[in-house]
Amino acid sequence: MIEARNLVKYYGDRAAVNDLSFEVEKGEIVGLLGPNGAGKTTTMRMLTGYLAADRGQAFVAGFNVAEKPMEVRKRLGYLPETVPLYTEMPVNTYLDFTAKIRGVPGKGRKRRIEEVMEMCRISDVRHKIIGKLSRGYRQRVGLAQAIVHNPQVIILDEPTVGLDPRQIIEIRKVIRDLAGNHSMILSTHILPEVSALCDRAVIVNRGRVLVEDTLENLERRSSAGERLRLEVRGPADEIRQMLSEWPGVASVSEIPPPPGQEGPEIGLFDLGVQPGADVREALAGTIIGRGWGLLELRTVSPTLEEIFVQLVTEDLAQLEEEDALEAGGVAAPGERLTGRKAYDEEMDEPTSLTEPLAETEPLAEDGAELDVASDTDERKIYPVAKVKTERKAAPAFLTENSPGPAEQKKAKSKNRAAQVDEEELDDASNGIK
């Protein structure tokens, strides 16, 4: 239903999108995933026809976006990153206008608007002026606008950005309700969103597709392999000895218990397991047989976040190498993850970089969010590239411990007094002479 074919877009001489291709099948929800400035918004704008591609082609519902823009637009619902709202209008008037320009016929228009307001849970504010609505309501009005003409293809640019966890869950419910009948792309840099909503993820960085696959495949593909978490009460050395000799266990590492929770003789182990080997049952039997206490044994599969960070980090590392080759030198180890300047410039919101990409979600109402929320506290993911903020040096009078005007005057008069003293002394000495 949606196809991007070798899309290229330059801003000045910097490629925001560079040879980007992917496809979305009918009825599929695809998450477009990437750090800030990866080219997600630009890609979506080219798919909608709002921006013209410099090279490459985009197809929506079988029509070439550049050649048949009107056919594409009729079949397309789009929620841009900044929600396009006429803030002076009441909600129902606004939706009436958007329905009209999207070509919803006059006959069923009113009913359709009611339906959409119901779907997006905004019926209770239908007569309110949009400018007076809260952020969450505005976002949902924006979503209503995108689906009012029941389009085949829906493109949502960061639909949950800036919302609180409750509102995020509401929006996700709306999006999930839409799934099935519509092909959908949604961009995000919030990873749980992809796990919660999408069938497939397209991970982009620096305007290119790094990986495009289903979530299960992505998790399987991770080089981390399968890992086991083991918590045992018993003599630590013996346990370690036994684990390292166990067939099928590739690596053993002991995890220091969190401070304050050190129990007597409790060992936490992280086991790397060779692919295909399931050692859990035998291992558990042996541990119990030896009279040790088996407190926990579970499989840890790599999360999407780990995969994402790994991919983006690798991509940036590759960029470093290319740069180093170009410069004819080797990048200093300290600069390893900072990326090059051009990349930094893409990062438009410095503040978003200091916040974790994935945050814990305290209010999980349903299962999908629950498993996402579990143990995220140990892996808050920070974006790999950091913006070097250049601060202007503060003027000298602010930084130095210089005396204020009053004190300066005092100091001056003191100096004068000292001078007078000296003169007097001179006079006196002259007199002596």
Partner 1 sequence: MKNTYYIVQRELYAYFASPIAYIMMAFFLAFSGALFGIFFSRDLTSVEVNTVMRGWATNVGFFLLIFISIITIRLIAEEQKTGTMELLLTSPVRDWQVVVGKFLATVVLLALTLAFTFFYILLMTIFGGRPDWLPLLSGYLGLLLIGGVSAALGILASSLTQSQAVAAVIGILVSIVLWFLGPLFVNQGPTGGAWWSQALDYASLSNHVDSFSRGSPDLKDILYYLSLVVLFLGVSVQVLKMRRGE
The contact set with partner 1 (CB under 8 A) reads: 9, 45, 48-52, 54, 70, 73-74, 76, 78, 80-89, 93, 97-98, 100-103, 145
Distance of alpha carbon 100 from alpha carbon 408, whole angstroms: 71
By C-beta, is 91 or 297 nearer to partner 1?
91
- Phi first, then psi: what are they for 272, rounded to 5°? -90, 125
CB of 339 to partner 1, least distance (A): 26
C-alpha 302 chain-centroid distance: 17
DSSP 75-139: TEEEE-SS----TTSBHHHHHHHHHHHTT--HHHHHHHHHHHHHHTT-GGGTTSBGGGS-HHHHH
CB of 86 to partner 1, least distance (A): 6
CB of 17 to partner 1, least distance (A): 12
Contacts of 249 (CB under 8 A, 6+ apart): 243, 271, 272, 273, 274, 279
Contacts by residues 214-220 (CB-CB < 8 Å, ≥ 24 positions apart): 215/304, 218/304, 218/307, 219/301, 219/302, 219/303, 219/304, 219/307
CB of 27 to partner 1, least distance (A): 22
Distance of alpha carbon 376 from alpha carbon 359, whole angstroms: 7
By C-beta, is 22 or 78 nearer to partner 1?
78
Q: How far is CA 71 from CA 60, 68, 248, in A?
A: 9, 6, 58
By C-beta, is 51 or 201 nearer to partner 1?
51
C-alpha 280 chain-centroid distance: 35
**Which residues lie across from 233 on neighbouring strands?**
266, 293
By C-beta, is 153 or 279 nearer to partner 1?
153
Distance of alpha carbon 178 from alpha carbon 173, whole angstroms: 9
Distance of alpha carbon 195 from alpha carbon 176, whole angstroms: 12
Distance of alpha carbon 89 from alpha carbon 98, whole angstroms: 12
CB of 194 to partner 1, least distance (A): 24
Residue 175 region, left (φ>0) first, then alpha (ψ -120 to 50), else beta? alpha
By C-beta, is 145 or 338 nearer to partner 1?
145
Nearest to 44 by CA among 202, 200, 167: 202
Distance of alpha carbon 327 from alpha carbon 163, whole angstroms: 43
By C-beta, is 76 or 357 nearer to partner 1?
76
By C-beta, is 105 or 257 nearer to partner 1?
105
CB of 58 to partner 1, least distance (A): 13
CB of 81 to partner 1, least distance (A): 8
CB of 21 to partner 1, least distance (A): 19
By C-beta, is 9 or 182 nearer to partner 1?
9
Distance of alpha carbon 100 from alpha carbon 108, whole angstroms: 11
By C-beta, is 97 or 246 nearer to partner 1?
97
Nearest to 315 by CA among 217, 205, 190: 205
CB of 146 to partner 1, least distance (A): 9
CB of 224 to partner 1, least distance (A): 40
By C-beta, is 36 or 145 nearer to partner 1?
145
